[in-house]
Amino acid sequence: MSSTHLAGRTAVVTGAGAGLGRAEALALAAAGANVVVNDMGPAAEDVVSEIKELGVGAVAVLGDVSDWSLGDRLVSAAVETFGSLDVVVNNAGITRDTMLFNLTEAQWDSVIAVHLKGHAAVSRAAAVHWRNASKAAGAPVYGRIVNTSSEAFLFGSAGQPNYAAAKAGITALTLSSAQGLSRYGVTANAICPRARTEMTANVFDADPNGNELDILAPERVATFVSWLASPAAATVNGQVFVVYGDMVALMAAPTVERKFTSTTGTFTVEELDEQLVPHFADRSPRQNYAAYSVAELDTTGVQPLNR
């Protein structure tokens, strides 16, 4: 049986001072991993204390993931403190929700910087380490990247043009990382989670079932992240999962709905008009590239709050 334990491994978790990141850090620690806890403020030290109570090591590295150099600091902290780097969980994020016509440059830049640049900065530093380690060993090493995307990129959320774009970018970064690093023994996967945290405090209604473990508890997502980080998930690479409540849904790759081919070898606008207009006639506005059907997976009974 494949092992789900992480004893002797070291993980880096960004944005781990609270919410989903904290739950992920604790889940990895419960599986036996030492954890480098990243966040912007002193809450990271509190999580370090919680992890140490589980009998494994932990160290806090404070800083903003949008600072490119922080990636190197996190990798160095893992290697210098615990002797290895095995798992990276990119979780840190912010929201600056607004409609596109109200979007400011600052709102765009800050969300892209923390989410997309932050994922890239930490992943790049880890990739450098793993590539060098693999070359030195003359064989693949152990490496896991778990990135945090969102259903916002699947739906194209109208009030989140910056956030949705960042999450789409993170998904593409994940696929590129999976292809580029697999030869070194590294896997990269993305999760689209729903979790009740401080960042989503104004998003979800209360758990209608009154479960002891909230149906949207971040611990539910963290369990899956711990599994993805384990040896058991060695063959899982370049995948995207929607994760929350009582389910994990594996997303399929996009498919071609229909191919249009010129009858003469070169399209004219008239022929394009002749072929495409009938195809889109009477088409539902929701029948587009957005994956609205994913919403039908929801069995939580939790309704979104009106904003």
Catalytic residues: 150, 163, 167
pLDDT tens across the length of the chain (307 residues): 469 999 999 999 999 999 999 999 999 999 999 999 999 999 999 999 999 999 999 999 999 999 999 999 999 999 999 999 999 999 999 999 999 999 999 999 999 999 999 999 999 999 999 999 999 999 999 999 999 999 999 999 999 999 999 999 999 999 999 999 999 999 999 999 998 866 655 555 565 666 677 888 899 999 999 999 999 999 999 999 999 999 999 999 999 999 999 999 999 999 999 999 999 999 998 899 999 889 889 888 886 654 3
CB 31, CB 226: distance < 8 Å = yes
Choose among 157, 137, 283, 146: nearest CA to 224: 146
For the whole model, what pTM was predicted? 0.93
Helix (H), strand (E) at residue 52: helix 43-52
285 HSE (CA, 13 A, CB side): 0
With 0-12 / 13-18 / 19 or more C-beta atoms within 10 angstroms meaning exposed / middle / buried, residue 81 is middle
Q: Is 83 left (phi over 0), alpha (psi -120 to 50) or beta?
A: left
